[in-house]
Amino acid sequence: MSIQKPDSDNRRAPEAAAGKADGKGVPVTVHSHAGYKGEERPRAFELDGRHLTVLSIKKTWQEETEQGRRRKTVFRVHAHDGRSYDLALDANTGEWTLEPFARDRA
């Protein structure tokens, strides 16, 4: 098991682009791939008219929302622009969102 050092603040996704002020993610177009187990994994995404390639998935975790007990899988990805982003896949709807960067999960 390797320990990953948190990115410096200047390499994280800008707060304005990473989510709304209310802490909820914003819809984003994600190009994903389902592996042999059928698990969706992000490969690239569109943000502010730019196509960003995912170089690596640094961390993955599950979250359950209080509203309707919906589950989502969050992927902390490192994109080719040198920044880290949190992309979430809603298990019920299959929709992707760009989440506010969770500093407590760095």
| pLDDT recorded at residue 92 | 87
77, pLDDT greater than 60: yes
CATH code of the domain covering residue 65:
2.30.30
Q: Does residue 37 lie in a domain region? A: yes
pTM above 0.85, yes or no: no
* Structural domain range at position 42: 23-105
Q: Does residue 4 lie in a domain region? A: no
Q: What Cα–Cα distance (Å) separates residue 71 from each residue in 9, 29, 65, 90? A: 28, 19, 6, 6
| pLDDT recorded at residue 105 | 56
- Banded pLDDT at 17 (limits 50, 70, 90): very low
Q: Does residue 39 lie in a domain region? A: yes
94, pLDDT greater than 50: yes
State the Cα–Cα distance between residues 100 and 13, nearest whole angstrom. 9
Average pLDDT, integer, range 67-83: 90
| pLDDT recorded at residue 61 | 94
Q: Does residue 61 lie in a domain region? A: yes
- How many structural domains comprise the chain? 1
